[in-house]
Amino acid sequence: MCGIIGYTGKEQALPLILGGLERLEYRGYDSAGVALIEDRRLVVEKRVGKIRELVKSLWGKPYKGKTGIGHTRWATHGEPSTENAHPHTDERCEFAIVHNGIVENYLELRKELEGKGVKFRSNTDTEVIAHLIANAYRGDLLDAVLEVVNRLRGAFAFAVITVHEPSRIVGVKQGSPLVVGLGEGENFLASDIPAILPYTRKIVTLSDGEVADITPEGVNIYDFNGNPVTKEIMVVPWDIISAEKSGFKHFMLKEIYEQPKAVGDTIRGLISSGEEPPFSLKDFRRILMIACGTSYHAGLVGKFWIEKLSGVPTEVVYASEFRYADFPVDERDLIIGISQSGETIDTKFAINFAKRKGAKTLSVVNVVGSSIDRESDYTLHTHAGPEIGVAATKTFTAQLSALYFLASSGHPEKDRLLSELMKVPAKIEETLDRSEVVEKIADKYMKKKDFLYLGRYLSFPIALEGALKLKEISYIHAEGYPAGEMKHGPIALIDENMPVVVVAPQDRVHEKTLANIEEVRTRKGIIIGVGFEGDEKVEKLSSEFIAVPPIEEDFTPFLTVVPLQLLAYHIASKLGLDVDQPRNLAKTVTVE
Ligand code: M6R
C-alpha cells in the first residue's frame, strides 16, 4: 500500500508531484508528504490527513525545485502522524526517501544504527533506509543504494534523492510495484501508471530486484548486483479522461455506470486479441482460483461456470489462506489468480508458488504490466480501464466476463455462449436505468445498523459481494449468507429491524429461495428482494422489490450485483461518507 512518485526534469517538480499524489491517493490516505531539492538544500513538507491537507499547507510557499519525491501513506509501522509520514531523511537531512511496503528486518537494522549513535525520529521501518544510504554514500547515489538494498528483507519499493546529486532519483523495486515514465528532458517514477499518465504514456515497468537510476537526460536500469538490464518500453493505451469523474459525484458511481462498456470491451478485447490460452481446461485434474475481496467473489461465480461448462473440479481459495496452507499443487493443476490491480501481494505469492511447483498459471488482471500479469504464464486482461474508487465495481463485472470467456473456451457451443454473453452489456444498461428505486430504498434504510444478504447458487457470491460493498463504504455491519444456511444459525438475528437483501432471480433454485424469503417474512424481517421484472412471487413477498431484466440463468450475476452496488453507494453517499476513499482501506493491498 502507500503511493510513491518522483520527478526530475525541466519543470517545477511540486505541482507535478502533488497532481500525481492525488491520483495515487487511492493507495492510502492517512498522511502525505513531499521532499524537494531547493538550491542544493532538501525541503521536506508532511501533513497528517489527505493530500488536500498537504496542498493547503504548501499554498504560497515558493518552492521551485525541479527534482522531488512524494508519498501518500497507508500506515503499517507507526501510527499516522507527521513524524511517521514520509519522506524520511537521514540525520543531516541530505537524503530523503519515500517507501511503499515493509522492511521486515528493520528492527535489527535499527538496533545496529542506534548502536552507532544514530537518532531516529519516527517509528517507521522506512527510516532505517535513509540512514543506511547516508552511511553508505561515497559520492554516488546508485552505488550507495546498491550497497544497502541487499541488506533489506521484505517486499518494498522506494525512491531516494540527495542534495549531493540534485538532478538524480534512484528507485528500487522488490515486491511492491514501481514504474518509470519516460519524458522529453524529464523523467518520472511512480507506484502506478495513472499517477504519471497526464505527462507521459511511455512506461517501463520494473521487475523485482531492479533499480532505476533516473536523471532528466535518461534512465538506466540495473539489477541488485549493478549489472545493466535492458527493458521494453510500453506505450499505455489509456487516456487520462477515463480517470476523471466526468460529472459524476464520485468515481464509484461513474464506475458503476461504466459497467456496460467495461463488460463489452472485455468480451470484445478477449475475442479479438486471441488471448485464449493455448490449452484446454480439460487438460487439468483440478483448477484452483486464488484471489482476495471482490476478486474472490468473482472466482466463486467463475467456479460454477467452469464446472458446468468444462466439468473440471474447481476450488476458490482466499489468497491469504492459500499462502500458509499445505495445498498439494503440481503440474496437473491450473492456478488462476484473479486481481484487478495485479499487485495484491498474497495473490502474487500464490502465482509464484504455483509456478515453482510446476503448475500452469493464468491470471485475470485489469492493470496491464502489473506484477501478476507479468509473472503468470498466461493473462486474460479485463478491459475495464482504470478503477479509482476503492470499492471494486466495474472490474468485478469485467472479471466475470473474462471468467465466462475462459469457462466457455473449448466448449462445443462456444460461439453461441459468447454471442449470449455479448447481450449482457445492454441488459446492464437496462438495470442501471432503474436506479431511482434503489436510491429510495437507500433513503429508507440508511440508518439501519445491520444488513443480511442472502442468495443461492450463482446468487450466493453476489450476496457476499453486496455485503462487502455495504460494509466497506458505509461502515454498516453486513453479512452475506447462502440462503439455505439461514436456519443453521443466522435466522436468530431476524426481527422487524433487520433488512434482508435476497438475491432471487428465476434460476434453478428459485423455489428454494422463495421458501427462504418466507422464513424471513414469518420472523418479520424487512425483505429487499432483487428479482426478475414481472416476478410477482418475489415482489409480493418483499417489503421492497428491485427488478432486473430477465436473462439466462448463467448471466444473472452480471445484473443482480448492480442494484447491490447502487444500494451501498447511495447509503454511503447519503450518510455523507467518503465513498471513494473509505476509512482504513487502500485500493491495492501490497502488504500481507
Ligand atoms: O486488486 P485486487 O483485485 O487483487 O484486490 C483485491 C481486494 O483487495 C479488493 O477486491 C477489495 O476487496 C475491494 N476494496 C473490494 O471492493
b/e burial code for range 277-290 (CB count within 10 A of at least 16 → b): beeebeebebbbbb
Tell me which residue has cell 491470471: 363
Q: Cα of 486 to ligand 1 centre, how many Å? A: 27
Q: Is the CB of 431 under 6 A from ligand 1?
A: no
Nearest to 304 by CA among 480, 554, 532, 564: 554
Catalytically annotated residue among 2, 46, 261, 360 = 2
Domains of the chain: 3-236 (3.60.20.10), 240-422 (3.40.50.10490), 433-579 (3.40.50.10490)
Q: Is the CB of 472 under 6 A from ligand 1?
A: yes
C-alpha cell at 563: 442494484
Alpha carbon distance 447, 267 (integer Å): 39
- Atom of ligand 1 minimally distant from the CA of 589: 8
Q: What residues are paired with 221 via a beta bridge?
A: 212
What pLDDT does residue 242 have?
Answer: 60
What pLDDT does residue 303 have?
Answer: 98
- Atom of ligand 1 minimally distant from the CA of 392: 16
Contact between 411 and 309 under an 8 Å Cβ cutoff? The reply is yes
Task: Specify the residue with its C-alpha closest to ligand 1, atom 16.
Answer: 391
What pLDDT does residue 74 have?
Answer: 82
Contact between 105 and 154 under an 8 Å Cβ cutoff? The reply is yes
Q: What are phi and psi of 226, to 5 degrees?
A: 85, 10
Q: Cα of 587 to ligand 1 centre, how many Å? A: 7
Q: Which helix (H) or strand (E) holds 378?
A: strand 378-381
What pLDDT does residue 255 have?
Answer: 96
440 belongs to the catalytic site:
no
**Going residue by residue through the chain (592 aa), what tens digit of pLDDT does each one get?**
789 999 999 999 999 999 999 888 877 788 999 999 999 899 999 999 888 899 999 988 889 999 999 999 887 777 888 899 999 999 999 999 999 988 999 999 999 999 999 999 999 999 999 999 999 999 999 999 999 999 999 989 999 999 999 999 999 999 888 999 999 999 999 998 888 988 999 999 999 999 999 999 999 999 999 999 999 999 887 655 566 777 788 999 999 999 999 999 999 999 887 777 888 999 999 999 999 999 999 999 999 999 999 999 999 999 999 888 888 899 999 999 999 999 999 999 999 999 999 999 999 999 888 889 989 999 999 999 889 899 999 999 999 999 999 999 989 999 999 999 999 999 999 999 888 899 999 999 999 999 999 999 999 999 999 999 999 999 999 999 999 998 898 888 999 999 999 999 999 999 999 999 999 999 999 999 999 999 999 999 999 999 999 999 999 999 999 999 999 999 999 999 999 988 888 777 777 7
Q: Is 56 left (phi over 0), alpha (psi -120 to 50) or beta?
A: alpha
Contact between 29 and 40 under an 8 Å Cβ cutoff? The reply is no
Q: Is the CB of 341 under 6 A from ligand 1?
A: yes
Probe target for ligand 1 pocket from 375, 589, 590, 591, with the most ligand atoms within 8 Å of CB = 589
- Concatenated DSSP letters for 5-30? EEEESSS-HHHHHHHHHHHHGGG--S
Q: Is the CB of 290 under 6 A from ligand 1?
A: no
DSSP category for residue 478: E
Q: Cα of 237 to ligand 1 centre, how many Å? A: 23
459-474 vs 293-310: helix crossing angle, rounded to 10: 170
Angle at 171 between CA 101 and CA 383, to 5 degrees: 70
Q: Cα of 468 to ligand 1 centre, how many Å? A: 10
Q: Cα of 293 to ligand 1 centre, how many Å? A: 5
Angle at 445 between CA 442 and CA 446, to 5 degrees: 70
Alpha carbon distance 492, 486 (integer Å): 8
Q: Cα of 295 to ligand 1 centre, how many Å? A: 6
pTM for the whole thing?
0.74
Q: Cα of 291 to ligand 1 centre, how many Å? A: 9
Q: Is the CB of 392 under 6 A from ligand 1?
A: yes
> Could you tell me the CA-to-CA distances from 30 to 4, 20, 46, 48 in Å, in that order?
14, 16, 11, 6
Torsion, Cα 309 310 313 319, to 10 degrees, reads: -80
Q: Is the CB of 580 under 6 A from ligand 1?
A: no
2 belongs to the catalytic site:
yes
Contact between 521 and 513 under an 8 Å Cβ cutoff? The reply is no
Collect all residues with Cβ–Cβ distance below 8 Å to 205 and sequence separation of at least 6: 179, 231, 234, 369, 370, 374
Task: Specify the residue with its C-alpha closest to ligand 1, atom 14.
Answer: 391
Contact between 16 and 200 under an 8 Å Cβ cutoff? The reply is no
Contact between 346 and 309 under an 8 Å Cβ cutoff? The reply is no
DSSP category for residue 343: -
Contact between 93 and 134 under an 8 Å Cβ cutoff? The reply is no
Collect all residues with Cβ–Cβ distance below 8 Å to 329 and sequence separation of at least 6: 288, 335, 353, 354, 357, 359
C-alpha cell at 212: 532505476
Task: Indicate the SS3 state at residue 272.
Answer: helix
CB atoms within 10 A of CB 49: 15
What pLDDT does residue 28 have?
Answer: 77
Alpha carbon distance 104, 345 (integer Å): 15
- Concatenated DSSP letters for 510-549? HHHHHHHHHHHHHTT-EEEEEEETT-HHHHHH-SEEEEE-
Alpha carbon distance 149, 144 (integer Å): 9
- Atom of ligand 1 minimally distant from the CA of 587: 14
Q: Is the CB of 347 under 6 A from ligand 1?
A: yes
Catalytically annotated residue among 46, 50, 173, 587 = 587
Alpha carbon distance 234, 369 (integer Å): 9
CB atoms within 10 A of CB 121: 12
536 CB burial (10 A radius; 0-12, 13-18, 19+):
exposed
Nearest to 503 by CA among 567, 448, 589, 440: 567
Maximum C-alpha span of the chain: 78
What pLDDT does residue 18 have?
Answer: 94
DSSP category for residue 391: S
Q: What residues are paired with 218 via a beta bridge?
A: 215
